[in-house]
């Protein structure tokens, strides 16, 4: 395996590899901006404000659904769908957003809640 200069391949748990850049004294993993692709696609959009659909699946415990409701825009239309055994809740919110940064901010806050899946 050929490795580019300035990079060190370093094994992590479960044989995962992370690329660590030597050029700076700080270490960066491949996931420096978790929502980089989303941000890029939103920035390509030329029509703002934009009607955006947030979709999440959350465990129905520890107030997760209430935490997500508090983060979502108040002006959005929010709907909930429970699984048959009531263990999880699918949350959808359609809201008019002014720019990409607002969308990323909401998504990052929801991502911080344990067990939530972002769709």
The CATH superfamily assigned to 47-118 is ACT-like. Chain A, domain 2 (3.30.70.1150)
Whose structure tokens read 């929801």? 110
CA distances in angstroms from 16 to 2, 6, 12, 37, 113, listed in the order given:
17, 19, 5, 22, 24
CB-CB contact of 68 with 86 (8 Å): no
Q: Prior bond to 55 cis, omega within 30?
A: no
What is the domain partition of the chain in residue ranges?
47-118
Per-residue pLDDT band at 79 (split at 50, 70, 90): very high
CB-CB contact of 95 with 51 (8 Å): yes
pLDDT digits over 1-40, tens only?
444 445 455 554 444 344 433 333 344 434 447 888 888 8
Top mean-pLDDT range of 3-17, 36-50, 61-75: 61-75
Secondary structure of 76-87 as H, E, C letters: CEEEEEECCCCC
């Amino acid at each position: 395996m050929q490795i580019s200069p300035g990079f060190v391949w370093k094994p992590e748990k479960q044989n995962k590899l992370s690329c660590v850049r030597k050029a700076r004294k700080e270490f960066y993993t491949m996931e420096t901006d978790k929502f980089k692709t989303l941000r890029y696609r939103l920035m390509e959009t030329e029509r703002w404000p934009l009607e955006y659909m947030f979709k999440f699946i959350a465990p129905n415990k520890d107030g997760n659904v209430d935490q997500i409701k508090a983060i979502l825009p108040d002006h959005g239309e929010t709907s909930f769908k429970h699984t048959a055994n009531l263990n999880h809740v699918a949350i959808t919110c359609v809201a008019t957003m002014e720019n990409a940064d607002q969308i990323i901010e909401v998504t990052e806050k929801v991502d911080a809640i344990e067990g939530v899946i972002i769709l």
